[in-house]
Amino acid sequence: MNQTTDQTHQGCIFCRKEIIGKSFCSTPLFSAFYNIAPILPGHSLLIPNKHCESLFELTDEELGEMMVFARKITSVLKTFFNCDSFDWTIQDGVSAGQTVPHLHLHIIPRKPLDLPESNEWYNKIQRSEDGILDSENRARLSEKEYNEITDRLKVACASINK
Ligand code: 5GP
Ligand code: ZN
Protein backbone atom coordinates (compact mmCIF):
# COMPACT_ATOMS: atom_id res chain seq x y z
CA MET A 1 0.00 0.00 0.00
CA ASN A 2 1.05 3.56 -0.58
CA GLN A 3 2.83 4.63 2.62
CA THR A 4 2.06 8.37 2.53
CA THR A 5 1.34 10.49 5.61
CA ASP A 6 -2.17 11.26 4.42
CA GLN A 7 -3.67 7.82 4.01
CA THR A 8 -6.98 8.99 2.62
CA HIS A 9 -7.89 9.85 -0.91
CA GLN A 10 -9.92 12.98 -1.52
CA GLY A 11 -13.39 12.20 -2.76
CA CYS A 12 -13.20 8.47 -1.96
CA ILE A 13 -16.39 7.42 -0.17
CA PHE A 14 -14.64 4.61 1.72
CA CYS A 15 -11.96 7.00 3.02
CA ARG A 16 -14.58 9.11 4.80
CA LYS A 17 -14.48 9.21 8.60
CA GLU A 18 -18.08 7.96 8.64
CA ILE A 19 -16.99 4.65 7.12
CA ILE A 20 -13.94 3.81 9.23
CA GLY A 21 -15.61 5.33 12.30
CA LYS A 22 -18.59 3.01 11.86
CA SER A 23 -16.62 -0.18 11.36
CA PHE A 24 -17.68 -3.06 13.60
CA CYS A 25 -14.20 -4.52 13.77
CA SER A 26 -10.76 -3.36 12.71
CA THR A 27 -7.05 -4.01 12.84
CA PRO A 28 -4.35 -1.36 12.33
CA LEU A 29 -4.51 -2.12 8.58
CA PHE A 30 -8.09 -3.25 7.83
CA SER A 31 -11.69 -2.48 8.77
CA ALA A 32 -14.96 -4.35 8.42
CA PHE A 33 -18.25 -2.47 8.17
CA TYR A 34 -21.84 -3.27 7.29
CA ASN A 35 -23.08 -2.63 3.77
CA ILE A 36 -25.49 0.32 3.70
CA ALA A 37 -27.64 -1.64 1.23
CA PRO A 38 -27.09 -5.32 2.04
CA ILE A 39 -28.18 -7.77 -0.65
CA LEU A 40 -28.70 -10.32 2.13
CA PRO A 41 -28.55 -10.09 5.95
CA GLY A 42 -24.95 -9.86 7.06
CA HIS A 43 -23.57 -8.44 3.79
CA SER A 44 -20.42 -6.66 4.98
CA LEU A 45 -17.41 -5.05 3.41
CA LEU A 46 -13.76 -5.32 4.41
CA ILE A 47 -11.34 -2.60 3.32
CA PRO A 48 -7.74 -1.53 3.86
CA ASN A 49 -7.68 1.54 6.14
CA LYS A 50 -5.28 3.28 3.79
CA HIS A 51 -6.58 4.18 0.38
CA CYS A 52 -5.68 1.71 -2.31
CA GLU A 53 -7.65 0.58 -5.32
CA SER A 54 -6.44 -2.88 -6.13
CA LEU A 55 -5.24 -6.10 -4.55
CA PHE A 56 -2.03 -5.57 -6.53
CA GLU A 57 -1.17 -2.62 -4.26
CA LEU A 58 -0.97 -4.88 -1.21
CA THR A 59 2.22 -6.62 -0.20
CA ASP A 60 2.08 -10.39 0.23
CA GLU A 61 2.09 -9.83 3.99
CA GLU A 62 -0.81 -7.38 3.83
CA LEU A 63 -2.77 -9.69 1.57
CA GLY A 64 -2.24 -12.51 4.06
CA GLU A 65 -3.39 -10.32 6.94
CA MET A 66 -6.45 -9.24 4.96
CA MET A 67 -7.50 -12.84 4.29
CA VAL A 68 -6.91 -13.94 7.87
CA PHE A 69 -8.97 -10.99 9.15
CA ALA A 70 -11.69 -11.71 6.57
CA ARG A 71 -11.92 -15.30 7.74
CA LYS A 72 -12.30 -14.20 11.37
CA ILE A 73 -15.03 -11.72 10.45
CA THR A 74 -16.79 -14.32 8.30
CA SER A 75 -16.74 -16.79 11.14
CA VAL A 76 -18.47 -14.27 13.44
CA LEU A 77 -21.01 -13.36 10.73
CA LYS A 78 -21.86 -17.01 10.10
CA THR A 79 -22.66 -17.53 13.77
CA PHE A 80 -24.42 -14.19 14.20
CA PHE A 81 -26.67 -14.65 11.15
CA ASN A 82 -27.00 -18.40 11.63
CA CYS A 83 -25.68 -19.16 8.13
CA ASP A 84 -23.96 -22.25 6.79
CA SER A 85 -22.14 -20.71 3.82
CA PHE A 86 -20.74 -17.45 2.53
CA ASP A 87 -19.64 -15.67 -0.62
CA TRP A 88 -16.49 -13.60 -0.86
CA THR A 89 -16.04 -11.37 -3.84
CA ILE A 90 -13.67 -8.62 -4.93
CA GLN A 91 -14.44 -6.65 -8.06
CA ASP A 92 -10.92 -5.52 -8.87
CA GLY A 93 -11.04 -2.91 -11.63
CA VAL A 94 -13.76 -1.11 -13.55
CA SER A 95 -14.02 -3.84 -16.18
CA ALA A 96 -14.77 -6.29 -13.36
CA GLY A 97 -17.58 -4.06 -12.06
CA GLN A 98 -15.75 -2.14 -9.31
CA THR A 99 -17.69 1.07 -8.66
CA VAL A 100 -16.00 2.30 -5.48
CA PRO A 101 -12.30 2.70 -6.31
CA HIS A 102 -11.14 1.66 -2.83
CA LEU A 103 -10.33 -2.03 -2.55
CA HIS A 104 -13.14 -3.92 -0.80
CA LEU A 105 -14.03 -7.52 -0.17
CA HIS A 106 -17.76 -8.30 -0.09
CA ILE A 107 -18.57 -10.90 2.58
CA ILE A 108 -22.07 -12.32 2.13
CA PRO A 109 -23.39 -14.92 4.58
CA ARG A 110 -25.60 -17.50 2.82
CA LYS A 111 -28.43 -19.83 3.79
CA PRO A 112 -30.18 -22.55 1.81
CA LEU A 113 -32.71 -21.07 -0.65
CA ASP A 114 -31.97 -17.50 0.44
CA LEU A 115 -31.98 -16.45 -3.24
CA PRO A 116 -33.91 -17.97 -6.18
CA GLU A 117 -30.59 -18.97 -7.75
CA SER A 118 -27.62 -19.57 -5.48
CA ASN A 119 -25.40 -17.40 -7.70
CA GLU A 120 -27.97 -14.58 -7.91
CA TRP A 121 -25.82 -12.52 -5.50
CA TYR A 122 -23.56 -11.62 -8.40
CA ASN A 123 -26.42 -10.02 -10.36
CA LYS A 124 -27.57 -8.23 -7.27
CA ILE A 125 -24.14 -6.71 -6.71
CA GLN A 126 -23.98 -5.75 -10.37
CA ARG A 127 -27.39 -4.08 -10.17
CA SER A 128 -26.18 -1.83 -7.36
CA GLU A 129 -23.99 -0.24 -9.99
CA ASP A 130 -27.04 0.63 -12.07
CA GLY A 131 -28.13 3.17 -9.51
CA ILE A 132 -30.83 1.19 -7.71
CA LEU A 133 -29.16 1.41 -4.33
CA ASP A 134 -32.24 3.08 -2.85
CA SER A 135 -34.85 1.12 -4.74
CA GLU A 136 -37.37 -1.22 -3.17
CA ASN A 137 -35.32 -4.14 -4.51
CA ARG A 138 -32.36 -3.32 -2.35
CA ALA A 139 -33.37 -1.09 0.50
CA ARG A 140 -30.85 1.25 1.98
CA LEU A 141 -30.71 0.96 5.78
CA SER A 142 -31.77 3.93 7.86
CA GLU A 143 -29.06 5.48 10.05
CA LYS A 144 -30.76 3.95 13.08
CA GLU A 145 -30.79 0.45 11.53
CA TYR A 146 -27.18 0.83 10.41
CA ASN A 147 -26.01 1.97 13.86
CA GLU A 148 -27.92 -0.82 15.59
CA ILE A 149 -26.47 -3.62 13.49
CA THR A 150 -22.98 -2.09 13.77
CA ASP A 151 -23.23 -1.98 17.57
CA ARG A 152 -24.46 -5.58 17.77
CA LEU A 153 -21.67 -6.79 15.47
CA LYS A 154 -19.08 -4.87 17.51
CA VAL A 155 -20.12 -6.91 20.53
CA ALA A 156 -20.06 -10.14 18.51
CA CYS A 157 -16.53 -9.34 17.27
CA ALA A 158 -15.20 -8.27 20.65
CA SER A 159 -13.10 -11.40 21.10
CA ILE A 160 -11.41 -11.19 17.69
CA ASN A 161 -8.65 -8.73 18.54
CA LYS A 162 -7.91 -10.13 21.99
P1 5GP B 1 -18.85 -2.42 -5.67
O2 5GP B 1 -20.04 -2.28 -6.54
O3 5GP B 1 -17.82 -1.34 -5.88
O4 5GP B 1 -18.24 -3.80 -5.69
O5 5GP B 1 -19.43 -2.30 -4.18
C6 5GP B 1 -19.66 -1.10 -3.49
C7 5GP B 1 -20.54 -1.46 -2.30
O8 5GP B 1 -20.48 -0.39 -1.36
C9 5GP B 1 -22.02 -1.65 -2.65
O10 5GP B 1 -22.42 -2.95 -2.23
C11 5GP B 1 -22.73 -0.55 -1.87
O12 5GP B 1 -23.97 -0.96 -1.34
C13 5GP B 1 -21.75 -0.21 -0.77
N14 5GP B 1 -21.80 1.19 -0.36
C15 5GP B 1 -21.85 2.27 -1.19
N16 5GP B 1 -21.85 3.41 -0.46
C17 5GP B 1 -21.81 3.04 0.85
C18 5GP B 1 -21.80 3.79 2.08
O19 5GP B 1 -21.81 5.02 2.11
N20 5GP B 1 -21.75 3.07 3.23
C21 5GP B 1 -21.72 1.70 3.23
N22 5GP B 1 -21.70 1.10 4.44
N23 5GP B 1 -21.72 0.96 2.08
C24 5GP B 1 -21.78 1.62 0.91
ZN1 ZN C 1 -10.34 5.42 -0.31
In a domain, 7, yes or no: no
DSSP string, 1-13: ----SS---TT-G
- Domain of 66 in residue numbering reads as 13-156
In a domain, 76, yes or no: yes
Q: What is this structure's pTM?
A: 0.89
Taking the C-alpha atoms of residue 99 and residue 64, their distance in angstroms, rounded to an integer, is 24
Q: Which atom of ligand 1 is nearest to the CA of 146?
A: 22
In a domain, 3, yes or no: no
Q: Which atom of ligand 1 is nearest to the CA of 13?
A: 19
In a domain, 6, yes or no: no
Helices (H), 81-119: none
In a domain, 134, yes or no: yes
Contact predicate 68/60, CB 8 Å: no
Taking the C-alpha atoms of residue 43 and residue 78, their distance in angstroms, rounded to an integer, is 11
In a domain, 161, yes or no: no
For 127-138, what is each residue's pLDDT tens digit?
655 544 544 556
Which residue has its alpha carbon closest to ligand 1 atom 17? 36
CA of 99 to the centre of ligand 1 (A): 8
| 3-state secondary structure (DSSP) of residue 130 | coil
Nearest ligand by distance to the CA of 51? 2
In a domain, 36, yes or no: yes
Q: What CATH number should be reported for the domain holding residue 58? A: 3.30.428.10
For 145-162, what is each residue's pLDDT tens digit?
999 999 999 999 998 866
Taking the C-alpha atoms of residue 153 and residue 80, their distance in angstroms, rounded to an integer, is 8
Number of separate domains in the chain? 1
